[in-house]
Amino acid sequence: YLEALAKVDTIVMDKTGTITKGRPELVSLKNLSDKSDADIIAVLASLENKSEHPIAHAIVSYAKEKNIALLPVEQFEIIKGKGLTGTVNGAKYKVGSEKLARELGASFPSLEKETREGNTPVFLAAGNKVLAMVMVADALKENAKESVARLHKLGVKVVMLTGDDKNTAEYIAQLVGIDEVVAEVLPEDKLNLIKKLQAEGRVV
């Protein structure tokens, strides 16, 4: 492995927890429903409490900080690569990415500015209606920029491969000087991209 490492010309890395600290925080809430902000956070955090994703932890931590009690969740399911679904107080909800919200046919305000600035949107929907959107941001690791610069000095191309929002990924990549970004990919697509780079003759 060490001998092979010397021949590497492309490094593919994830974003969350690799370039960023992997400890995202909830930075804003846009409530589009007639529920109170506390009720929205209660539903959102209760559903996200069942997930292992760092973004889910950010939402649950926020609820705990605000002393918002979590509610029982029934019929919980993960929607692979997009979010999750579950029933709270007899009502069925979906939580997930912009991709999920679009697939539901929901209408919502443009988030381009927020996502361009490195925020990841999380949507709470019921039926095909978006009830709220929260923005979660993840700070860069202190040594991320320097590490990418060192890899460049070694002549290595750096590719970021993430399931997260495209604008967020591009913003983070720009901050640390990453060469190429592939975002909004499902786990199995990550493997396909590695295979594609290898097929091009790159040592990944």
Residues with a catalytic annotation lie at 14
Q: What angle is formed at CA 148 by the lines to CA 21 and CA 161, rounded to 5 degrees?
A: 65
Distances (CA, A) of 43 to 22, 75, 85, 92: 23, 14, 11, 10
CA distance 94 to 101: 9
Distances (CA, A) of 155 to 9, 56, 82, 116, 134: 7, 37, 35, 28, 39
CA distance 101 to 109: 12
Q: Beta partners for 121?
A: 135
Q: Beta partners for 110?
A: none
CA distance 96 to 73: 16
Measuring CA to CA, which residue among 63, 1, 12, 71 is closest to residue 198? 12
